[in-house]
A = this chain, B = another copy of it.
Amino acid sequence: MLSLSKIKWLKSLGQKKYRKQEGLFIAEGDKIVKELLTSSMEVKGIYGTAPWAGDVSFPEGIVPEIITDKELERISSLNSPNQALAVVKIPATNTDSIELKNRFTLVLDNIQDPGNLGTIIRTADWFGICNIVCSPDTAELYNPKVIQATMGSFMRVNVFYTQLEDFFGGIPKDFPVMGALLEGENIFRTNLPTEGIIVTGNESRGISSPIKGFITNRLFIPRGAESTEQPESLNAAVATGIILSNLTNQG
């Protein structure tokens, strides 16, 4: 049985302040927790219902704490808690280690919505993007809503937070930096680079002015021929998906 102080501690990890303090975050659900057990992430604790835990073979050193459905409900941040919850160590990151050559890297400039961030990470994973560099004001990766929306992709894509001006200051000269802008070139008609950075901007304000200055390839996702001029923009995750699909499926 979970003690009240344990419940309180687990619930505190729902807040950024305590995640930062403890260096831990929570991931939930049967599939994600099972994947975590075989991933490179450091799992610090597993809380699962008896039928769930009975079906899982745990690696050495990991002993699940068996909890009731009621207890899971108390500690879960999901509307429909799903059998298990893991406490995981937040890995250290260092933007110096990001390899840019011969691949595509995503830069997020102030993505606010946790669901959008999670969906972008999931989409990046599908298209084989290893690294995502986020402005400090982008939503926090370890927010439970972000983790959930990644559908497990947080285990496979590296996400970094840094001042974007500093990041762009350190990239090779003439390295392609793409961004979707209304005045850009039709992504279906222009020659696309085979390596580079793709910048996705804020949901309502787009790419910020200082960051626009770093863009070398302005791209535009054309509206359909039947569309009016009224829709102003695409959702940030949808636009990112369309750009990545075109970049990774050339030739």
Q: Which A residues contact B (CB, under 8 angstroms)?
A: 103-104, 115, 119, 122-123, 125-130, 149, 151-153, 156, 186, 188, 221-228, 230-235, 237-242, 244-245, 248-249
Instruction: Check if B130 sits within 8 Å of A226, measured CB to CB.
Output: yes
User: Complex: how many Å from CA A130 to CA B230?
Assistant: 13
22 sampled A-B residue pairs with Cβ under 8 A: A119-B235, A119-B238, A122-B235, A125-B227, A125-B231, A126-B234, A127-B227, A129-B224, A129-B226, A151-B231, A156-B228, A156-B230, A186-B249, A188-B245, A221-B245, A224-B248, A224-B249, A226-B248, A235-B237, A238-B238, A238-B241, A241-B241
Q: Which of chain B's residues have a CB closer than 8 A to the CB of A153?
A: 231
Main secondary structure of the interface of A (DSSP, over half): loop
Taking A122-B231, A127-B223, A235-B237 as given, write out 9 further A-B residue pairs in contact, using a Cβ cutoff of 8 Å, ordered by the A residue number.
A103-B226, A126-B233, A130-B226, A156-B230, A222-B248, A235-B241, A237-B237, A238-B240, A242-B245
Instruction: Check if B227 sits within 8 Å of A126, measured CB to CB.
Output: yes
The residue from B122, B127, B234 contacting A224, defined by CB atoms under 8 A apart: B127
A2 → chain B, closest Cβ, in Å?
29
